[in-house]
Amino acid sequence: MELSITPAPQPGAWRRRGVASDNDLIKKIQAEVIMSKRKAKDSHFTVGECISQVQRLLRERFCHQQLPLRPLGMESQHKHLLELLRRTAVHGESNSVLIVGPRGAGKTMLLNCVLKELLEVNEVKKNVLLVHLNGLLQTDDRIALKEITRQLHLENVVGDKVFGSFAENLAFLLEALKKGDRSTSRPVLFTLDEFDLFAHHKNQTLLYNLLDISQSAQTPVAVVGLTCRLDVLELLEKRVKSRFSHRQIHLLSPLGFERYLEIAQQQLSLPSDFPDHKFCEDWNASVKALCEDKSAEAVLQKHFNASKDFRSLHMLLMLALSRVTVSNPAIRPADLLEASRLCTADSKANVLHGLSILELCLIIAMKHLNDIYDGEPFNFQMVHNEFKKFIQRKSHSVHNFEKPVVIKAFEHLQQLELIKPMDGSTAKTQKEYQLVKLMLDHSQIMEALQKYPQCPTDVKQWAVSAFG
């Protein structure tokens, strides 16, 4: 048997072949990368993908509004508040101040801007403690004290200790915040949103103790109250008022409609780094055209007149944005008009659309009683009599219900708070004779009747007639 012997390659030949093939491979990969980059640059997303990205980006913008570097038109108020809180945080000087202004004027934004700037200083960030309270949530002093304990992380320190009074408990909490050398206390900034609601607490104990501590030199404390009420000081007891520094920072919205329109356009516009450049240009052009449209401008003007609050504007724009689809890839004036209608919809009139015909008839009977007795309160028996008159004289489409069924319908209207019992009516009075008041006006009832599905004609005519 003969063996075939393959000649051995010359030294270095395999290396040369390997290098050549590696170089080719590298060149090929580089060419593919360049091509893919070109394709990515030239490629366009589908309209559906672009709209999804737009909605995600704008919803995030509307729901998580970023703080500005400096609040516009509030330079002096910003400087005043920053200096006040810096004196507490850095120099241990206690202070109290009220920020007063209408809703949407920027009270919370101003405070958050100041706190953000203050906490950028390392010394302040390490030492200062923040406690946020809200009059809508902390409805009494016990709940407020529990919340202070939780936010200061002192649950374990308090433990099962029993305190004689609120003041002792609060003093113990602040004592527990002293540093290791037991000489200096950590500064605490208390922010009280809806400050006026704390004035309704029993004996105003929380306010008294916080302001009392801010007057003493033992613990550095700053109390910042935010309120919409200009007469808030009149609500304070004499002992509380005497401990307040009487510093007030007033905010009045300086915003004009032209600036409001600019902000609406900015809020809807896409940033230049949006993935699809062509779609971004088209979208921004459509937003500019929208803000220049007379009907859209009228909607925004109406909204501006009702409320200058940016949260209200964001709600309007969010509702308009939700109407953008693949077949409708831009916000139209009609979308803004529909969003405005939803924003300003009368909730009570909307409740009427879900009532039964019997309940609607009782509402109309009450409307006639209001007309006859000039808004005076009435009782179920009077309403039932009015309803029976309608059934006997005019109606052929409404069933003559038994009295217990009518009572049940009347009670349902009371549960929906469309009618309200008068304070003078006592529990001893029979249900049929307890005085109530209708919480709807003529226009709400008539609007609901127009939109009510398949409402009998004679019921509509009964509503329009002068006195039933």
User: Where residue 450 sits, what CATH number does that domain have?
Assistant: 1.10.10.10
Query: In this structure, is residue 67 part of a structural domain?
Result: no
Pinpoint the alpha helices (H) of 64-204. Answer: 75-91, 107-118, 122-127, 141-151, 155-158, 166-175, 195-198
Does 434 lie in the same domain as 305?
no
Does 181 lie in the same domain as 141?
yes
- The helix (H) or strand (E) run that includes residue 421 is strand 419-421
Could you tell me the sign of the dihedral formed by the alpha carbons of 33, 34, 37, 38, in that order? negative
Does 441 lie in the same domain as 297?
no
What is the pairing mode between strands 419-421 and 436-438?
Answer: antiparallel
| 181: confidence class by pLDDT, cuts 50, 70, 90 | very low
pLDDT of 257: 87
Does 421 lie in the same domain as 404?
yes
pLDDT of 465: 79
Residue-averaged pLDDT of the chain:
81
Query: In this structure, is residue 218 part of a structural domain?
Result: yes
Domain boundary residue among 250, 269, 291? 250
| 17: confidence class by pLDDT, cuts 50, 70, 90 | very low
pLDDT of residue 205 exceeding 70, the answer is yes
pLDDT of 1: 43
Does 296 lie in the same domain as 163?
no
As for how many domains the chain has, the answer is 3
Query: In this structure, is residue 157 part of a structural domain?
Result: yes
Domain boundary residue among 229, 250, 271? 250
Query: In this structure, is residue 49 part of a structural domain?
Result: no
The average pLDDT across 266-288 equals 89
pLDDT of residue 68 exceeding 80, the answer is no
Does 242 lie in the same domain as 279?
no
Does 401 lie in the same domain as 430?
yes
Residue, of 225 and 142, whose pLDDT is higher? 225
Look at 172-186, 346-360, 371-385, 402-416 and tell me which has the smallest mean pLDDT.
Answer: 172-186
Query: In this structure, is residue 327 part of a structural domain?
Result: yes
Does 271 lie in the same domain as 215?
no
pLDDT of residue 134 exceeding 70, the answer is yes
Specify whether the backbone of 50 is left (phi greater than 0), alpha (psi in -120 to 50) or beta.
alpha
- For residue 59, how far is the Cα from the chain centroid? 14
Does 296 lie in the same domain as 231?
no
pLDDT of 373: 85
pLDDT of 195: 94
Residue 226 structure tokens: 């935010």
Range of the domain at 308: 257-345
The average pLDDT across 177-188 equals 63
pLDDT of 29: 60
What pLDDT, in 10s, does the model give residues 318-340?
999 998 888 888 899 999 999 88
Residue 41 structure tokens: 């640059």
Which long-range CB contacts under 8 A does 174-180 form with residues at least 24 apart? Answer: 174/213, 174/219, 174/221, 177/129, 177/152, 177/219
Query: In this structure, is residue 420 part of a structural domain?
Result: yes
What pLDDT, in 10s, does the model give residues 208-254?
888 888 887 677 889 999 999 989 999 999 999 998 988 999 987 66
Tell me what percent of the chain is helix, strand and coil, each rounded to the nearest 5.
55, 10, 35
DSSP SS3 for 178: strand
The average pLDDT across 306-315 equals 84
pLDDT of 202: 84
Does 197 lie in the same domain as 93?
yes
Domain boundary residue among 297, 314, 345? 345
Query: In this structure, is residue 441 part of a structural domain?
Result: yes
Report the predicted TM-score, pTM, of the whole model to 2 decimal places: 0.62
The total of other beta-carbon atoms located within 10 Å of residue 400's CB is 10
